[in-house]
């Protein structure tokens, strides 16, 4: 899969492709890499992280 996106390192539109996924996502891997410089971007929704609230009341 190759998509055209803006590469901030190349400062222009470049082709991005999905590299081999080391995390086991397969075709659903959210990572794309610039074919010119290798800069990686994440696509899709950000993973949800737990929110921990800490009270500092006296």
Question: Is pLDDT at 9 greater than 80 in this prediction?
Answer: yes
Q: What is the pLDDT of residues 27-53, one digit of tens each?
A: 888 899 999 999 999 887 766 677 677
Kindly state the helix (H) or strand (E) to which residue 40 belongs, with its residue range: strand 40-42
Domain chopping of the chain, boundaries: 2-42
- State the Cα–Cα distance between residues 41 and 37, nearest whole angstrom: 12
Name the 3-class secondary structure at 54: coil
- Token pair for residue 2? 């190759």
């Amino acid at each position: 899969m190759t998509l055209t996106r803006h590469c901030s390192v190349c400062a222009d539109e470049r082709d991005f492709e999905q590299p081999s996924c080391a995390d086991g996502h397969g075709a659903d891997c959210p990572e794309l890499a610039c074919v010119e410089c290798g800069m990686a971007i994440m696509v899709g929704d950000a993973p949800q992280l737990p929110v921990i609230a800490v009270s500092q009341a006296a």
